[in-house]
Structure 1
C-alpha cells in the first residue's frame, strides 16, 4: 500500500518514542517515590561533641574518647578549627569526657 506524500506518517515514530519515554518517566517517579508527601528531615550520622582550635588537641581528645570505647572522627571545616564528631548514641558520655578534657 503506497503512502500518500502529503500525509504526516513521518511523525508516527517520534510520537511513539515520546509516548514511551513519558510512560517510563511516570513509572520511575511512582517506583522511586518516598511514600509520604512531607519532606524528609535529614538525620545526621555524626554529631559534633567539641570544637577545638588545634588539630593536636582534637587528636588528644579523640584518644581519650577511644580509650573510653567511643568511636570518633575529626572534621576540619576551616583553618584553626577542628570538630570532634561522635555517633549520637555516644554523645552524652563523649560530652562528659570532653568537659573534663583540658587540651583546648
Structure 2
C-alpha cells in the first residue's frame, strides 16, 4: 500500500499543473491576423522602392552599393523578423499566430 505523502508520477493533478496554459478564446488567431497585416504594410514600402528603382532608369550618377543592394537587404531583414517571431510564438504555444508567421 502506498503512503499518501508519496506522489506517483503521472497523476492527473500533477500533469495538469506542469503544463502552461495556452492562450484562450480568439486571441491566438486574432494576433496572427494582426501580425500578418502589419508585416504586409511594413513590407510594401521596400517592395515599391525595389520596383521603382528597377523600372525607372536613374537620373543622375549611380550611388553604387545603395542603389543595388540597399532595398534588397531591407527585404531580407524584414524576412528575418517574421521567422524569429514565428519561432517565439510557437515555443509559447500560440499555434495559430505562429503558423501564420511560418506561412
Normalised-by-shorter TM-score class = under 0.3
Instruction: Specify the structure having the higher radius of gyration (Cα).
Output: 1
More strand as a share of residues: 1
TM-score, length of structure 2 as denominator length: 0.25
More helix as a share of residues: 2
